[in-house]
């Protein structure tokens, strides 16, 4: 049974799911339909949201190889894999997915932060106020059953990047925290710098 999470809420992934291994982190969003600006006005560029997973050691990113995103789809440990970039967010269900094998993550990593940024947000004058129905959900890879879901419902107008949530190791068990924190970071590099 899936748990619907509120902002800041924590949930244990291991406790009710003995032997949990692979987890699918599904992320989704829809673009708010903008009113037409006139017959000859240029059509705005579609909003390209990019999901990434940042693997942390003691709360910090140590190596750029620990960032799994559209330019580095697989962590060198083989335990975190990005399933590919969706350029428009069109369609139902998850727009992007990151598969994590919790049972095999090297011991030095204690946290995986899941972030989403808008590609070229500043140049295109785009922000998360133009996005609706954003969510993050965790699915048990063994049976494809949803364990928990967090719908981001705050007003994120002006924000160009988002920390959706984090999966972390605590006393030998894996947990998830729904974060939903917007930032003004113009790109993934600046967002990653928050965890240096």
CATH number at residue 63: 2.60.60.30
Residue 40 lies in a domain: no
113 pLDDT tier (thresholds 50, 70, 90) = very high
E runs forming strands in 34-79: 49-56, 67-68
pLDDT (tens digit, 9 = 90+) per residue, 27-80? 999 998 766 666 666 667 789 999 999 999 999 999 999 999 999 999 999 999
Greatest C-alpha distance within the chain: 60
Looking at residue 167, what is its pLDDT?
97
Domain total in the chain: 1
Residue 39 lies in a domain: no
Residue 134 lies in a domain: yes
147 pLDDT tier (thresholds 50, 70, 90) = very high
Other Cβ atoms closer than 10 A to 91: 10
Residue 73 lies in a domain: yes
As a whole number of angstroms, the distance between CA 95 and CA 98 comes to: 11
Domain boundaries, position 147: 3-34+45-193
Q: Which two tokens mark 190? A: 């600046």
What would the mean pLDDT of 87-91 be, rounded to a whole number?
A: 51
Write the CB contacts of 55 (distance below 8 Å, at least 6 apart in sequence). 61, 66, 67, 68, 75, 80, 105, 109, 111, 112
pLDDT (tens digit, 9 = 90+) per residue, 154-184? 999 999 999 999 999 999 899 999 999 999 9
Cα-based angle 107, 110, 113 (whole degrees, multiple of 5): 135
pLDDT (tens digit, 9 = 90+) per residue, 2-14? 899 999 999 999 8
Percentage of residues of the chain with pLDDT beyond 90: 81
pTM for the model stands at 0.92
As a whole number of angstroms, the distance between CA 144 and CA 138 comes to: 9
CB contact burial 96-133 (16+ within 10 A = b; e otherwise): bbbbbbbeebeeebebbbbbbbbbebeeeebbbebbee
């Amino acid at each position: 049974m899936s748990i619907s999470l509120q902002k800041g809420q924590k949930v244990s992934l291991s406790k009710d799911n003995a032997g949990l291994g692979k987890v699918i982190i599904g992320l989704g969003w829809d673009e708010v339909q903008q009113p037409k600006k006139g017959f000859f006005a240029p059509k705005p560029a579609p909003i390209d949201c990019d999901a990434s997973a940042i693997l942390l050691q003691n709360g910090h990113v140590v190596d750029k190889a620990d960032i799994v995103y559209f330019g580095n789809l697989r962590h060198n440990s083989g335990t975190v894999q990005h399933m590919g970039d969706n350029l428009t967010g069109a369609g139902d269900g998850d727009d992007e997915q990151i598969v994590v094998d919790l049972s095999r993550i090297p011991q030095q990593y204690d946290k995986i932060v899941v972030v989403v940024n808008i590609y070229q947000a500043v140049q295109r004058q785009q922000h998360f106020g133009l996005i609706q129905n954003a969510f993050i959900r965790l699915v048990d890879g063994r049976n494809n059953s949803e364990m928990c879901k967090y719908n981001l419902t705050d007003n994120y107008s002006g924000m160009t990047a988002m920390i959706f949530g984090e999966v972390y190791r605590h006393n030998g068990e894996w947990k998830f925290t729904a974060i939903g924190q917007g930032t003004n970071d113009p790109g993934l590099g600046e967002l990653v710098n928050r965890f240096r």
